[in-house]
């Protein structure tokens, strides 16, 4: 009897990413790993490497570097796709909603004047949030070991009481 619950897509082989020649392996020994996922997201949102925090994460506005220049972490595994745009629109909408309501209710501006204030402000906020959102999402993927990233954590620090 055929198995109707499986499909050819269940057996997709994983793509192997080539390692750069002569690159030292990324490991906890040569990186200052963040203490928490929030720390990694903060580093990514600031445009820094989420793993070590030393090098830049982006080589262009939304184009991440292939490898961190400090810790050699491979960033080609990231698959942020459209999620940064959704986050940017979500944040912009939540900031602009009260601003729009206040402008409409508290001022007697004409429709063209309102549009001249609201549209550039919305576009500016969306563009402003786009790169930090992408950096945070890349950091989140790295922290949880998604899409081929190795799940790394800082070793717990030992205190005198534990010994």
Give pLDDT, residue 91. Answer: 95
26-41 burial: b if 16+ Cβ within 10 Å, else e: beeeebebbeeeebbb
Contacts of 31 (CB under 8 A, 6+ apart): 51, 52, 70, 71, 73, 152
Least confident residue range of 24-33, 49-58, 84-93, 133-142: 24-33
The whole-number average pLDDT for the span 127-145 is 92
Q: Is the Cα dihedral 38, 40, 43, 46 positive or negative?
A: negative
Res 7: pLDDT:
54
| Residues above pLDDT 90, as percent of the chain | 42
| CB atoms near residue 122 (< 10 Å) | 17
Lowest mean per-residue pLDDT among 22-36, 47-61, 71-85, 129-143: 22-36
**116 has pLDDT over 50:** yes
Length of the chain, in residues? 163
pLDDT of residue 34: 82
Interval 65-89 mean pLDDT: 89
Q: How confident is the model at residue 99 (pLDDT cuts 50, 70, 90)?
A: very high
d(C-alpha 18, C-alpha 148), whole Å: 12
Give the C-alpha separation, 90 to 82, whole Å.
Answer: 13
Worst-scoring range by mean pLDDT, 7-11, 46-50, 51-55? Answer: 7-11
Cβ–Cβ contacts within 10 Å for residue 111, how many?
8
Per-residue pLDDT averaged across 140-144, rounded? 87
The distance of Cα 35 from the centroid of its chain, to the nearest Å, equals 17
């Amino acid at each position: 009897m055929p198995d109707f619950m499986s499909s050819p897509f269940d057996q997709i082989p994983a793509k192997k990413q080539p390692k750069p020649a002569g690159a030292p392996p990324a490991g906890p020994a040569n990186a200052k790993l963040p203490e928490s996922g929030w720390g990694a997201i903060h580093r990514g949102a600031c445009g820094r490497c989420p793993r070590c925090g030393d090098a830049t994460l982006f080589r262009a506005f939304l184009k991440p570097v292939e490898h961190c220049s400090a810790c050699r972490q491979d960033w080609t595994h990231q698959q942020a796709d459209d999620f940064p745009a959704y986050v940017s629109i979500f944040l912009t909408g939540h900031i602009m909603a009260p601003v729009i309501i206040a402008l409409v209710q508290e001022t007697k501006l004409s429709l063209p004047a309102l549009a001249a204030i609201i549209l550039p402000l919305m576009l500016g906020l969306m563009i402003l949030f786009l790169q930090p959102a992408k950096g945070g999402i890349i950091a989140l993927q790295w922290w949880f070991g998604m899409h081929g990233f190795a799940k790394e954590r800082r070793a717990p620090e030992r205190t005198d009481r534990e010994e």
